[in-house]
């Protein structure tokens, strides 16, 4: 039987509150706010379990370790800040992307990633600059 441990709660909660896909490392740091003695192995174990239960989906980013976000969201894409390395969720999709494939190719899905600087990391006209954790 599955137990409700404070570690799992902390991980689930951290992911909810982040509002963006988190890597295992980010998840470790975030969840330690509630359970300071949390170990990395537990984070990986919990992620694995949540993915298998379809509560979490991996978000693959080019050249980066996978992030994880809640399953069941509407189709959308992501933005990776090259400065703070955080991945953000974007709304919607321009559509018609699959039509890029030539005839004979069967497209099942697509993934779009924007790269740049997030609002917090932009150099000059940065209003409301927050602390940038990574």
Taking the least distance from each CB to DNA, the nearer of 6 and 98 is: 6
Closest CB 132 distance from DNA, rounded Å: 18
Taking the least distance from each CB to a second copy, the nearer of 19 and 39 is: 19
38 binds, among DNA, a second copy, none (CB under 5 to 8 A by kind): DNA
Interatomic CA distance for residues 61 and 69, integer angstroms = 13
Contact call for residues 56 and 71 (beta carbons, < 8 A): yes
| Distance set, CA 19 to CA 22, 23, 27, 80 (Å) | 9, 13, 12, 14
- Per-residue contact string for residues 55-74; x = within reach of DNA by CB under 7 A: ----------xx--------
Does the footprint of DNA cover residue 8 (CB under 7 A)? yes
Interatomic CA distance for residues 131 and 86, integer angstroms = 13
Within 10 angstroms of residue 54's Cβ, the number of other Cβ atoms is 9
Q: Give the DSSP letter of residue 121.
A: T
- Per-residue contact string for residues 17-56; x = within reach of a second copy by CB under 8 A: ----------------------------------------
């Amino acid at each position: 039987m599955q137990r409700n441990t404070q570690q799992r709660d902390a991980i689930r909660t951290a992911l909810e509150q982040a509002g963006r896909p988190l890597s295992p490392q980010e998840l470790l740091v975030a969840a330690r706010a509630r359970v300071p003695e949390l170990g990395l192995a537990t984070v990986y174990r919990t992620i694995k379990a949540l993915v298998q239960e379809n509560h979490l989906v991996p978000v693959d980013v080019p050249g980066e370790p996978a992030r994880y976000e809640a399953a069941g969201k509407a189709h959308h894409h992501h933005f990776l800040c090259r400065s703070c390395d955080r991945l953000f969720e974007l709304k919607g999709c321009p559509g018609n992307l699959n039509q890029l494939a030539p005839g004979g190719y069967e497209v099942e899905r697509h993934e779009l990633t924007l790269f740049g600087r997030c609002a917090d990391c932009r150099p000059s006209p940065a209003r409301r600059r927050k602390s940038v954790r990574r």
